[in-house]
Amino acid sequence: SKAASAVSQDEDSSSASSIISRFRQYLQINTAQPKPNYHEAADFLISQANSLSLESQVLEFVQGKPLVLLKWPGKKPALPSILLNSHTDVVPSEHHKWAHPPFDAHLDSATGNIYARGSQDMKCVGMQYLEAIRKLKASPSFRQPLRTVYLSFVPDEEIGGHPGAEMFAHSEVFQKMNVGVVLDEGLASPDDFYRVFYAERSPMWLVIKATGPPGHGAKLYDNSAMENLLKSIESIRRFRAAQFDLVKSGSRAEGEVISVNMAFLKAGTPSPTGFVMNLQPSEAQAGFDIRVPPAADHLSLEIRIAEEWAPSSRNMTFEFKQKASVYDKFGKPMLTAHDGSNPWWGLLEEAIKNANGKVGKPEIFPASTDARYFREQGLPAIGFSPMANTPILLHDHNEFLNKDEYLKGIDAYESIIKAFASFDERTSDDESKAEL
């Protein structure tokens, strides 16, 4: 009969093998920077949304960079909503260095590992949100949330998030959504404990330039561009080593020190056979990726840059290619409370435990995510990607996620979304918002 075939179709779409095949389908869409196939990803996501009867909308703040916004309306739409965010782009890969092509989403039958760019960062999370909703919709004890649940699939996180999460967080659409809490990405952990993040370091991409008189390669003289740049590099390396020592000795976590890594070095006078060897160049530059924890003294770092790393007294200049804000729009450091003052934090930990997961102690994310654009709006944002017993392979060769770990992650989100969407109290944040 018709009814029987509908039921068997339902069973089919909720089976582990169809869950895994949907994940692999999403992974097979090549959304690698710098030319992500965003429209194919958007079409796929909208077809998923349709199969779940979620409302969908495509926002295009910048042409060619679609943001897919899905909505599961709550029974009490006046309560602040839940936002489940994920990015659709992935970083490029060196295909020939992978054991399996990065967009095959190869499933190793012996281990259950699924190899693909984006398997950890972060197509897993985007699909897990959807699968968790599929389960909740099928569960007789739940069916409809109290609070409205939104899902955003945003472009360009890997290149700074400006046409994606940043413009979204500043948009009128976003304001009308009345978001109360945001979930975004975290990191895998090699042990049993899921990692949870309440803040992140802020990125600072610094280019320093030195100039000096050119001269014969045989002449020793002061103030050449190379000498001036090298003095800076020596001083930057001393600073780096001191910060790294704090991590090596175990006195600070990775996210609690300032990291500085050289991204490029550019100097010399090119010649058809390489570089001119007996000419000291008149210009030299170097670029650094710097990450600054929220509690660090940003002002003294900037003074150090101006006075020690690129002093004009040594013919040096500097420029920031990227410098994120450190404070939210209310002038507060961008830290999501992870104590009793933030009910979402307790709900999250409890929900993960209810799904048989273990939660590590709250951490500062060492790199950057789109969560900063939501924290900038004064919203609590929690970084969480449910991947325990998994090596950290984001941006690495042979990125993979095990299929059973992926399925466990869906259970974690089912529990979290249920808890968040059922939470029937206004938080103190909501109240202060209502007063404004």
Known binding residues: 87, 121, 158, 185, 395
- The rounded radius of gyration (Å) of the Cα atoms in the chain is 24
Binding test (CB under 5 A) with Zn ion, winner from 69, 122, 187, 204: 122
- In the DSSP assignment, the letter for residue 159 is G
Mutual orientation of helices 16-27 and 38-51 as an angle, nearest 10°? Answer: 160
AA identity, residue 400: F
Residue 301, Cα to own-chain centre: how many angstroms?
24
163 makes contact with ligand FME (CB under 6 A): no
**Which position among 131, 157, 256, 363 bears the catalytic label?**
157
Q: Is 160 in the site for ligand FME (CB under 6 A)?
A: yes
Binding flag, residue 131, ligand FME (CB under 6 A): no
- CA-CA distance, 172 to 210, in Å (whole number)? 44
**Which of Zn ion, ligand FME, none binds 122 (CB below 5-8 Å, type-dependent)?**
Zn ion
Residues 171, 243, 322, 377: which binds ligand FME (CB under 6 A)?
A: 322
Tell me the window of 44-52, 122-130, 135-143, 225-233 that interacts with Zn ion (CB under 5 A): 122-130
Which region, judged by CB under 5 A, interacts with Zn ion, from 180-188, 226-234, 262-270, 313-321? 180-188
SS3 content of the chain, % helix, strand, coil (to 5): 35, 25, 40
Active site residue 157: yes
Annotated binding site for Zn(2+): 87, 121, 158, 185, 395
Tell which one of 70, 105, 106, 121 touches Zn ion (CB under 5 A): 121
Tell whether residue 370 is a contact of Zn ion (CB under 5 A): no
Under the criterion CB under 6 A, does residue 203 sit at the interface with ligand FME?
yes
Q: How big is the CA angle at 82 (ends 76 and 87), to the nearest 5 degrees?
A: 150
| Total residues at interface with Zn ion (CB under 5 A) | 3
Token pair recorded at residue 82:
């839940």
What does each C-alpha distance from 355 to 105, 136, 262, 391 come to in angstroms?
A: 27, 14, 42, 22
Which alpha helices (H) appear in 117-197, and where do they start and end? 123-138, 167-169, 172-177
* Backbone angle region of 195, left / alpha / beta, with phi > 0 → left and psi within -120 to 50 → alpha: beta
Q: Residue 316 in contact with residue 208, Cβ under 8 Å? A: yes
* Binding segment toward Zn ion, per CB under 5 A, in 24-32, 183-191, 283-291, 345-353: 183-191
Size of the site for ligand FME (CB under 6 A): 6
Interface segment toward Zn ion; rule CB under 5 A; list 139-147, 185-193, 223-231, 263-271: 185-193
By CB under 5 A, is residue 124 in contact with Zn ion? no
The residues that are catalytic are 89, 157
Q: Which positions touch ligand FME (CB under 6 A)?
A: 158, 160, 203, 322, 367-368
